[in-house]
Amino acid sequence: MAGHVEYPDPVGRPDMAFALDDVSLDALPLDGMSMINGRDAMGSGVLRNVTLGVRPGRFVAVMGPPRSGKSALLNVIAGMVKPTSGSVRWGTGEKPEAAFVGPVEELPRQARVREVVEQSGSHADASVLSRVYHGAGLWWSRRRRVAALSAAARQRLAVAREAATAPALLLAAHEPGSRAVREMNALSAGLRGIVDSCRLTAVMVTDDPVAAARADSVIFLRRGEIVDMAAGADPGLIHACLARINRLA
């Protein structure tokens, strides 16, 4: 394993945002119930014997070749899909409130930043909203219209909109070609800032080593199994790990 491995934490620890104990999933349902439309659903063995624990307030990146189980893992973590075997536990003891960072195209272009964030976080107090703005780097852009923001700022706004709901889990996915590199980096930067400012737990699927390097830990999947993990790794080390796994895929 690469770098200093922090995950999985010992099974049974009480202070977990979520924990997967020997989880397997035969297929990702295609009935629209999953949070993310997983192209991993083809074939069998979507997830195999996954054991993973993540503490609250952590940012985790998930990487791997196509159809390695990344989308399936995100759906299981969110409680949207029940595993075929094994168990999933959350810190609250119940299925968590999970928010998925949607595409920037869904943002209302003529609305102001504060309208987008504060409408989403209508039940949040001023201190929570302040941490969201600062974490996403949008404090000085609160009165600007979405259409006037840069592509990177709009991506951070998409993160802030979901973070304002104070979810137990904040999830994001990036598949090759779905976002420009600069937007992917803005997504990971926004998640990093929100995790640090609001102490949320975030999980991001990505294929970009630079974006993944902002996470506390990186999990590498291959054919539904966790085959490597790294904590505090730089982009070069992450790229090397991913390249080795891709050669084996």
Count the helix, strand and coil residues of the chain and give each as a percent rounded to the nearest 5.
35, 20, 45
Give the whole-angstrom CA distance, residue 110 versus residue 97: 29
- Give the model's pLDDT for residue 15: 80
Specify if 12 maps to a domain.
no
What gap in Å lies between CA 6 and CA 191, rounded to an integer?
20
Q: Over the range 60-76, which residues count as b (16 or more CB within 10 Å of their CB) and which as e? A: bbbbbbebbbbbbbbbb
Range of the domain at 182: 18-248
Total number of domains in the chain: 1
Has residue 161 been placed in a domain? yes
Inside any domain, residue 46: yes
pTM for the predicted model, two decimal places = 0.88
Q: Does residue 100 form part of some domain?
A: yes
Predicted confidence (pLDDT) at residue 92 exceeds the cutoff of 90: no
pLDDT digits (tens, 9 = 90+) for 63-76: 999 889 999 999 99
pLDDT level of residue 6 (50, 70, 90 thresholds): very low
Q: Note the pLDDT of residue 3.
A: 34
108 backbone φψ class: left, alpha, beta (φ>0; ψ -120 to 50):
beta
The CATH number covering residue 28 comes to: 3.40.50.300
pLDDT digits (tens, 9 = 90+) for 129-178: 999 999 999 999 999 999 999 999 999 999 999 999 999 999 998 655 55
pLDDT at 36: 55
